[in-house]
Structure formats: C-alpha cells, structure tokens
Structure 1
Amino acid sequence: MKMISKLLTNTDVEKSLLVPSSSLGVLPFEEGHFFNINVIDKVGKAWSFPCFIQQSEGIESSVVSVGWLKFLCDRDVRVGDMVFLHQESMDDDSTGTGAQLKIEVKRKIRLLGEDIWAAVE
C-alpha cells in the first residue's frame, strides 16, 4: 500500500476519513462494497477501520470512506492535523515477506519560532 498523507478536514473528523481509492492500490472491490483495514498505531495498539467504496460528487474516481471515529476520540485528533497511513515490513517476520499498516497522526505546533509537526499521542 502506498503512503497516504492528508491534512484533516471537518468531514474527516466529524463523519469519516475520505481518501481516493487509487491511493490504496488496486482494490478487489467495486463501488458500494465494504471491507476493513487493520492498522497499528504509534503505541502498538491494533485498530480495524470499516471502509466503504463510494462515488463522490464532483470527483471522477471513487473514494474510500474510512470509519475511524473511535480512533479520533481516543487520540484527540482534530481538524488541521495530518494523518499518515503506510505499509511497513515486520521486523520479527522470519520469512521477510510480512508487512503491516501503520497509522500516525501529527499536529503542527510552534516551537522556538519554528513550525514543526509533532506526533499526536
């Protein structure tokens, strides 16, 4: 899976995270199908996000609506934060073929006159 990074909008934090279906690689599903994405957060907690492929108004390609509101509440994620979703190989996989999806959320803060992106815990 490619890395997804998105600056969060009101819709992302009030309803569901919307990402272009093309950003998730080739999905074996068509519009209207449901599936789950299993991810691991920064502290190692596993999450399962229900997803739905839908056609969005004014957009030629379909989008994936990711149900992640419980994650948002648990992590105090807000509008303006940046979410990153990417695939990483597993260090303890003896075959060397295993991978897992990681999710990270960062918030822009001002520190000593500089804007930096800090992890949201």
Structure 2
Amino acid sequence: MENNQEQVRQSFSKQLTQREVEQRTVLFPFDVVTSVFEFQEGQLFCIDAIDNLEKVWLFIGMFHNNEELGNCVSICLRQFSVEKGLKANDEITFTERPQQEGTRTSKRFKVEIKRKIRLFGQDIWGELMV
C-alpha cells in the first residue's frame, strides 16, 4: 500500500539588503533556520540547491554567534548573485526538497528569487527567470 502522507517541506526566506547584495552573502536569523539545520558555531555546511531553470548550485553556509552579528547563519551567494543580478529588496527563498536516505550529507533545496515590480500602480512580486 502506498503512503499518501505528504512530506512537510520546510522553507525560509528574506528580502536582501544592500549590504548583502554588495557582500554577496545573505544572513538569516538563527531562529528562522533552526528547524532546518543542525549547527555548531564556526562549522561550515553545504546547501545543494536547484533554481527555476534547473541549474544546480552549491552554497556554503556558516553559523555565527558573536556580538556583531548575533546568532545567525550566513550563506555565500557569490556566483549565484552575479549570474542572477541580485538587487536590494529581492526576496530569496530556500524550500527543502525531498532527499533519498543515505545519498548525501548536504541539504537539498529549491532556490527562488522574487523581485517586486510596479505595474499599473500596483506592486507585484514576480519570480526572477534568469
């Protein structure tokens, strides 16, 4: 008999700041990602992601706990940021994808970028298709 229970997919997102765009690194507050990752301070981790064009990306993240940054997770977006032309106020979303047991130690995600455009006096969020 087939199991019809749908796996819960966790996601986290935020709007990029000008500083994050310039540094090509996004910071997520720890409480936003704590249910998705298990962290140790200073330890690197990998995020295996696929974008809307089916291109695979590997992001490196790190947990930080210091006075300047507070408790947060940084995710490096260097090449992704350049190729996608990220701008301040773009929204980045990581949604966990199902993973086969025993295949990888990195988390697998879908990564989406949405940009706000103004159309006929209305703000509309559209997915960036680059």
- Which TM class, normalised by the smaller chain length? 0.7 to 0.9
> What is the TM-score when the length of structure 2 is the normalising length?
0.75
> What's 1:111 paired with?
119
Identity %: 32
> Alpha carbons of 1:115 and 1:22: their partners in 2 closer, same or farther (altered >3 Å)?
same
Residue 113 of structure 2 aligns with an amino acid whose one-letter code is V
> What is the TM-score when the length of structure 1 is the normalising length?
0.80
User: What secondary structure sits across from 1:53 in the alignment?
Assistant: strand
Structure 2 unmatched runs, 5+: 1-8, 102-106
2:31 to 6, 14, 22: 22
RMSD: 2.4
Q: How many residues align?
A: 114
How far apart are residue 35 of structure 1 and its match? 1.1
> Alpha carbons of 1:78 and 1:26: their partners in 2 closer, same or farther (altered >3 Å)?
closer
Runs of 4+ in 1 over 6 A off after TM superposition: none
> What's 1:86 paired with?
95
> Alpha carbons of 1:108 and 1:35: their partners in 2 closer, same or farther (altered >3 Å)?
same
> What's 1:57 paired with?
67
How far apart are residue 80 of structure 1 and its match? 1.1
Residue 2 of structure 1 aligns with an amino acid whose one-letter code is Q
Matched residues in 1 for 2:112 and 2:85: separation? 13
User: What secondary structure sits across from 2:109 in the alignment?
Assistant: strand
Residue 28 of structure 1 aligns with an amino acid whose one-letter code is E
How far apart are residue 89 of structure 1 and its match? 4.1
User: What secondary structure sits across from 1:118 in the alignment?
Assistant: strand
> Alpha carbons of 1:87 and 1:27: their partners in 2 closer, same or farther (altered >3 Å)?
closer
- CA displacement 1:3-30 (0-9 Å, x = unmatched): 2121110222122100123322253331
